[in-house]
Structure 1
């Protein structure tokens, strides 16, 4: 009889540890907001009801990878998220390596319907709020409203919304006028 190989170490850390694993190891994880992909095979939870930040990104990579003029992303610590079934039904794409691999930073999506779920970075993750179940809770939805635009110099359409618009990263580039 052969021993089954242990999963790669990153699969045993947040956000890939499911809430039951966390409870079994003595860590608490309060399920506050549920998110799912389009087909429902990937389900995840957030333990915070407000992101650390929320932004619209107009960089060329986001435009191409999302097939949209910009990406809406909410920033969380990896510990703030938990996939219900670990890495099952997930696929990974390292945009830097241009390969389907879990090389950070990477895109994480459902391997069935293709819904983009998040960008996983080395320390944080950028979650796509359009997959969250706000279920008519306007106060909760307001917590996720974008505060600003980044890489606005690369925009493909103007967004006259009164929010700060940075030519590159916020606080590290030129603040642009509308």
Structure 2
């Protein structure tokens, strides 16, 4: 079984090989707010070899010093949708932008990170784990596992 997704204009498509939709997390950091143009961004960490992105995917990096965690971004050069990113903190994995999944309406964040920067009007569902900044890898794994 797998899941499909793509950019806004449809030029870049991808397939995620997985039995279930991936667990997701909402990041409320200012960078994610700015990148997404919204209050937070939804992400899922997926194995790099489980995600096949069409050849039309465009890879780019921001100039040094413009990101807290320098990353390589993969997306669409036509509509500028970011599909995923890769960074040295997660070798062998990609951070998938969950909103690009065709079935994005079926996912809900298993946890929230960088809540100290979240918009004050946003309420996080009671019982959903939250972290004021980035959790440790162990805290992240425990929270995302549910």
TM-score, shorter chain, exceeding 0.5: yes
Is 1:80 the counterpart of 2:50 in the alignment? Answer: yes
RCO higher in structure (CA 8 A, sep ≥6): 2
What does residue 114 of structure 1 align with? 80
Q: TM-score, normalised by structure 2?
A: 0.76
What does residue 37 of structure 1 align with? 7
Is 1:153 the counterpart of 2:93 in the alignment? Answer: no
Deviation at 1:104, TM superposition (A): 5.2
Which structure 1 segments of 5+ residues have no match? Answer: 1-30, 174-178
- Is the CA contact 1:51–1:75 (under 8 Å) kept in the aligned structure 2? no
Query: 1:60-75 residue pairs with structure 2 within 5 A?
Result: 60-75=30-45
Deviation at 1:51, TM superposition (A): 5.5
Moved over 4 A (4+): none
**Secondary structure at 1:133 match in 2:** coil
Deviation at 1:115, TM superposition (A): 1.0
Number of aligned residue pairs: 132
Q: TM-score, normalised by structure 1?
A: 0.63
Q: Which has more strand, going by share of residues?
A: 2
Change (3 A) 1:51 1:146: same
**Secondary structure at 1:170 match in 2:** coil
- Is the CA contact 1:44–1:82 (under 8 Å) kept in the aligned structure 2? yes
Deviation at 1:106, TM superposition (A): 2.6
Deviation at 1:161, TM superposition (A): 1.0
Deviation at 1:92, TM superposition (A): 1.6
| Structure index of larger Rg | 1
Is 1:55 the counterpart of 2:22 in the alignment? Answer: no
Deviation at 1:52, TM superposition (A): 5.5
Deviation at 1:98, TM superposition (A): 3.6
- Is the CA contact 2:59–2:72 (under 8 Å) kept in the aligned structure 1? no
Is 1:90 the counterpart of 2:58 in the alignment? Answer: yes
- Is the CA contact 1:55–1:150 (under 8 Å) kept in the aligned structure 2? yes
